[in-house]
Amino acid sequence: MTGGKTRASTSRKANNKPDLEDIEVEELSDHEFADAHEEVESDLDEAISVVRDSEDIPDALKSSLAAIMKALSIGTGPNIVKTTKQVAKNTKNLDNLQTQVRRLELKLTESSVIIKNLPFKNKTNKDNLYEKYEDTLTQASSLLSELKLDTNLIRIRDAKRFAPQKNKKGKALTPTTKITLSNKAEVDLLLSKLPNLRNSKNFKNVQIQRELPQFLVPRKAALEEEAYKIRRAKKGRKTIVTLRGIDLVLLVKEANGTKYEEHEIES
């Protein structure tokens, strides 16, 4: 006897993944257990390194789970089975936590819009790219008037310029502006009035979009690229990238269509 040291013998399904509920154990000799234990320690050290160095903890834990399952296949005993189940549980908890954090990030950005090419109130600002806070507020209010929005329905809570950026030729660009309104409904109303800028003299180059949290920025870029390809492939198609829950979706309407349909792309 070996003092309860055992090998995990796994029952495998068609997908070749161990089913934790079907795991049986058998006795190991001291020598066999020592060899298995050394290999398990190596796999676990590698798994811990993955978790420590990764920027995406849930994915890292999934990698560590895969390493532990590999260790299971050579035999480790009931303790590793327990550990594997705990890692799976922790992974699920972290996924739930990530969802909650993303909902909070969306909540913090849902009342704001990002504006590109909003002109400075004073032309002299083009040289130093600096504008007083009250001048930025004035410009934001002027933009709302140009959009034909009732200021009794929409109230600007904050307006600020970001740090200026440069184009590929090194020329300084007009700093992007963030305007914060009272709530999401006001943002929706503002965006619905964008066609009113088509014939604007002072704001014709202005671009306005809903603010998004950083975790959705790569997703938005991928969907917009796909939308461009779809429009090029067939003239008359229309596309919309919009929020649904905590994710973005791409909607497509055919040239002679009457409604938008969701278009899925590979992540």
- Residue extents of the structural domains in the chain: 6-107, 111-210, 212-267
List the CATH code of the domain at 111-210. Answer: 3.30.70.330
pTM recorded for the entire structure: 0.61
| CA 222 – CA 218 distance, rounded (Å) | 6
Amino acid occupying residue 83: T
pLDDT (tens, 9 = 90+) of the chain, 267 residues, equals: 444 443 444 444 444 544 544 444 445 556 665 666 566 566 666 665 665 565 555 666 666 666 666 655 555 555 566 666 777 777 787 888 888 888 989 999 999 999 999 988 887 666 667 788 999 999 999 999 999 998 888 999 999 999 877 777 777 778 899 999 999 999 999 999 999 998 888 898 899 999 999 999 999 999 999 999 999 998 889 999 888 888 999 999 998 888 999 988 765
* CB 122, CB 218: distance < 8 Å: no
Give how far the C-alpha of residue 176 lies from the chain's centroid of Cα atoms, to the nearest Å.
Answer: 21
Give the count of beta carbons closer than 10 Å to the beta carbon of residue 154: 20
